Chains A and B, each alone.
Chain A
Amino acid sequence: MTSGPTTDPRAAAAGTATVPKRRGTELALLGFAVLITLVAQAIVDLTVTGSLTTELATFGLWFTALWAVAHLVVRRWAPYADPLLLPAVALLIGLGLSFIHRLDLAAQQAGSTVSREDAPVQLVWATLGLVLFVGVLLVLRDHRLLSRFAYTLALIGLVLLAIPAVLPASLSEVNGAKIWIRVAGFSIQPGEFAKICLTVFFAAYLVDKRDVLALASRRVIGLELPRGRDLGPVLVAWGLSILVLVFERDLGSSLLLFGIFVVMLYVATERASWLVIGLGLFAGGALIAYQLFGHVQQRVDSWLDPFEYYDGSGFQVAQALFGLGTGGLFGAGLGGGRPDQVPVAKSDFIAAAVGEELGLFGLVAVIIVYLVLVERGLRTSLIVRDAFGKLLAAGLSFAIAWQVFVVLGGVTGLLPLTGLTTPFLAYGGSSLVANFVLVALLVRISDAARRPAAPTGPPKPALGDAPTEVVQT
């Protein structure tokens, strides 16, 4: 599959203007996302400080320019890309920036000694992310090229994943999780980049091996079990995730990597038995880790009853729950609550701040924006023609979904707390930049998916077009 069709996909664009590109829709929705962000920022300034600042104008110009550039680049170099991906991301980043700014102001009012403003820093990270986004779209004209570097990317991914584990705790540990590289005042979470590298590798690898992995040996209770000798890859992935759990004390990355791999394996082979095997393996591994390691037990205990451990490990979640409960249906209003009472509200617990100030309606709206982003990604996967693109789009989309589920589940007490960040929304440079790259890949694949087939290729336009007509956003 790595060789793929040899035609240049761009050649097709000139001939067929019948497929709507929907760039106008994207532009309108981007404008909407930017508008909401600016209004949110203005409300924050007005309610917290009582006046509007000139910084708001600077921010507004910068933020608008960011998405104008993104739009123009997509219009020029990925004209058929899905029109909802970029606006969803813009809205999430904009809301995130508003909340980070709001928490900056709260810290200033509290007379905090650490009066560093994080919102401008995050805006710089977003800009850097956008540069990479543009870079990916410019350099990578055809996503299938990526599969050539699958093994290189796998190596890079593994190295990135392993670095925090081998670094001394002083350079890699924050709040108990060893998932950082801290150099010269900067903190990088290499796991965020490893996630993308490994997803690309999984896609390429599974496209190669899926025929073998789909072979069944026997049926047990309606499940077609794979052959014993084919268990190798899943065992390696499992071992890897267990290593992450043990050496980096990070349930989040561990769950994330293994979840992505198992789901991609399932999509590639169409064998539900892989899901069952994967689930069983993870449950077993988690159980053993629970019994062997104190920090895992502590996490689970404070998850089961955060209020019981209020003075210790349960404090964060308990405070988040207080914030959410106090927010209620409609929330305290932007600037009206006390989200700063939750420790690390800007990064891990930003969803709690959203729920406290925008209420149930605001938080559910954010979850739905994520849902839109993920389902558009999966839809891309559904309609893209090549197997590698299909698997990659599925893996990347599921990565977002799974990460959002694990993080929000942790914040709301549904799952044990993990060290993952809320994609796009939370403060954190590596996460933001990495997820920009992820979205660039999705945009690239969706462009290929909706682009009319090249005249020289097999004539199957209906596959790409029919669903596009249905969704008239």
Chain B
Amino acid sequence: MNAPLRRVAISVLVLFTLLIVNVNVIQVVRSEELRSDGRNTRVLAEEYDRERGSIVVAGTEIANSIPTDDRLTYLRQYDNGPVWAPVTGYYSLVYGNVQMERAANDVLSGTDDRLFVRRLADLFTGRDPSGGDVVLTMDPAVQETAMAGLEGVTGAVVALDPSTGAVLGMASTPTYDPNQLSSHEPAAIREYAAGLESLEIDPRLNRAIDARYSPGSIFKVVVSAAALSSGEYTSDTVIPAPRELVLPATSTPLENFGGSACDPSGRQSLLDALTVSCNTAFAQLGIDLGEDRVREMAEAFGITGEGFEIPLTVEGSTLGDIENDAQLGVSSIGQQDVQLTPLQAAMIASAVANDGTLMSPYLVDQVRAPDLSVIDQTDPEELGEPVSADVAGQLTEMMTSVVENGSGRRARIPGTTVAGKTGTAENAGPDHNWFIGFAPADDPQIAVAVFVANGGGTGGDVSAPIARDVMQAYLDGQGG
């Protein structure tokens, strides 16, 4: 019986080797994958043991961690939570983390490579490890004014510093209280989330960057830029502006807003066409320019269909497929399949304001170690130059006329010249209301985009006043 016994002994060895190999695969090869799985709450629990860094705006912590007595040592709390929620996001036991809490997680949790030396020092000195701080570019007055302006409606506001790309404000409504989602009581968290989910629109969506909408007439700025850049047009060039435009190869007539004539003569200058936001003129202009030139200009402004990070993830804005001249005409007035995020709309205004140079938008100004020493400072970056300084000057002149004499009158600020463009976009529901603009027109300090979903009025009525308040709040703060 000894021969089979030896074979049994060897088989046992093989079985155990199999176990050991399998354990090696799990604990070494798949270790990282299993450790970082979103459903593995071990790492999260470990994170809660560490003091998470703060999110700071203008010297004030809008998100910080305070010690508690319960098992998850630190509690995340948000000061003025609903106002900053679109940017901070939440840090939840149940739902993980989103927005800045996610994008800057490595810094906040202290695992970022730039904090490595510090971590090493913590290990030797026995100091409790903690995360680094993230200092945002945002301006409290802008953010608060924007959120107040959007109160009661669904919408978004984005404000940029045109010369750097720094995000000054990013509002989205309806909003929510991130404190409720970041508590240590899973049942309460789930209950609050269920309340949010039962709403028609989930407030946890940041409409400034997570969603795209038809831009309507604000897109005429891009078509104007394409026309002026072609060299065949100036702001004074007179273009056809009929009462009705029958689109090529269709029998569908395209009308102006309210069915009115843009000019009794049926022709008007490019400047006048933008001022009164003439649909027929811009549809024809787009068709005359051709798809390539319109698309190239849109891409130069950042409408490439590709998303990007600021470091929050921004949905890509797109023109959609344009199959024929009829669709090109409709696309040229910002309808058809043209879809922009409010951030993208603000980038258009910002590039015009910055003499044609588009700056890369960014939210994080500084990354600081727990001892407040700055370990990273963001340098503004150029994203491209969609238009020349000359074209930018002409566009500014045209957009100033919109606010001075046209549809954007309600964006006027006493004592300051404002440039802008309104948009009223048709969609399945009531019209979307847009306004993009910047101020002061001769020395732009702030560029904004205001979007109100299904506002039902016009961009000039609904969105322009919000833009005015936001710009004024910022300029007041800068001046005083």
Contact = CB atoms under 8 A, between A and B. Distances in A.
Interface of A: 109-110, 263, 266-268, 270, 310, 318, 321-329, 337-338, 341, 355, 359-360, 363-364, 367-368, 370-371, 374-375, 378-379, 381-382, 387, 390-391, 394, 398, 401-402, 404-405, 408-409, 412-414
Contact of A401 (B3, B16, B32, B39): B16
B32 to A, nearest CB: 8
Given A109-B71, A405-B15, A341 B41 contact: yes
Contact of A367 (B19, B26, B28): B19
B42 A323 contact: yes
Contact of A371 (B12, B28, B39, B71): B12
B71 to A, nearest CB: 6
Interface in B283-338: none
A129 to B, nearest CB: 24
B8 A412 contact: no
A378 B8 CA distance: 8
A322 B43 CA distance: 10
Contacts of A367: 16, 19-20, 23
- 6 A-B pairs with the lowest CB-CB distances in the bound complex, closest first: A325-B34, A322-B40, A360-B27, A401-B12, A378-B9, A405-B15
A412 B28 CA distance: 13
A22 B24 CA distance: 35
B19 A405 contact: yes
A439 B474 CA distance: 82
A359 B27 CA distance: 8
Contacts of B250: none
B22 A412 contact: yes
B187 interface: no
Contacts of B4: 266-267, 270
16 contacts: A325-B27, A326-B35, A355-B23, A364-B20, A367-B19, A371-B12, A371-B13, A371-B16, A379-B9, A401-B12, A401-B15, A405-B16, A405-B18, A409-B22, A412-B19, A414-B22
Nearest to A371: B16
Contacts of B8: 263, 266-267, 378, 394, 398
B382 interface: no
A298 B390 CA distance: 71
A375 B39 CA distance: 40
Nearest to B27: A360
Contacts, number: 127
Contact of A328 (B2, B28, B39): B28
B122 interface: no
B42 to A, nearest CB: 5
A404 B19 CA distance: 10
A429 B71 CA distance: 31
B200 interface: no
In this complex, which of B13, B22, B26 has the most chain A Cβ atoms within 10 angstroms of its Cβ? B26
Q: How large is the interface on B (under 10, 10 to 19, 20 to 34, 35 or more residues)?
A: 35 or more
Contacts of A266: 4, 8
Contacts of A267: 1, 4-5, 8
A325 B4 CA distance: 38
Contacts of A402: 15
B9 A328 contact: no
Contacts of B28: 328-329, 360
Contacts of B19: 367, 404-405, 408-409, 412, 414
Contacts of A337: 42
A328 B15 CA distance: 22
Interface in B30-76: 30-35, 37, 39-43, 45, 71
A327 B30 CA distance: 11
Given A322-B39, A364-B23, A270 B1 contact: yes
A378 B4 CA distance: 11
B27 A328 contact: yes
A409 to B, nearest CB: 6
A355 B27 contact: yes
A263 B12 CA distance: 11
Contacts of A326: 31, 34-35, 40, 42-43
B71 A328 contact: no
A335 B35 CA distance: 18
In this complex, which of B3, B19, B22, B42 has the most chain A Cβ atoms within 10 angstroms of its Cβ? B19
B336 to A, nearest CB: 41
Given A325-B31, A398-B12, 13 more contacts: A270-B4, A318-B39, A325-B33, A337-B42, A364-B20, A367-B16, A378-B5, A382-B2, A391-B1, A394-B8, A398-B8, A401-B12, A405-B19
A423 B5 CA distance: 22
Contacts of B37: 322, 325
A382 B3 CA distance: 9
B127 interface: no
B23 A341 contact: no
B73 to A, nearest CB: 12
Nearest to B45: A338
B466 to A, nearest CB: 44
B39 A387 contact: no
B1 to A, nearest CB: 5
Contacts of B27: 324-325, 327-329, 355, 359-360, 363
Contacts of B42: 322-323, 326, 337-338, 341
Contacts of B24: 360, 364
A325 B16 contact: no
Contacts of A391: 1
A82 to B, nearest CB: 15
A325 B20 CA distance: 14
A110 B12 contact: no
A318 B20 CA distance: 19
A388 B9 CA distance: 18
Nearest to A270: B4
Contacts of A322: 34-35, 37, 39-40, 42
Contacts of A268: 1
Nearest to A323: B42
A413 B26 contact: yes
B286 to A, nearest CB: 50
A375 B12 contact: yes
A391 B3 CA distance: 13
Nearest to A387: B1
A263 B42 CA distance: 42
Nearest to B37: A322
Nearest to A269: B4
Contacts of A409: 18-19, 22
A402 B71 CA distance: 40
Nearest to B9: A378
Given A329-B28, A341-B42, A401-B15, A390 B23 contact: no
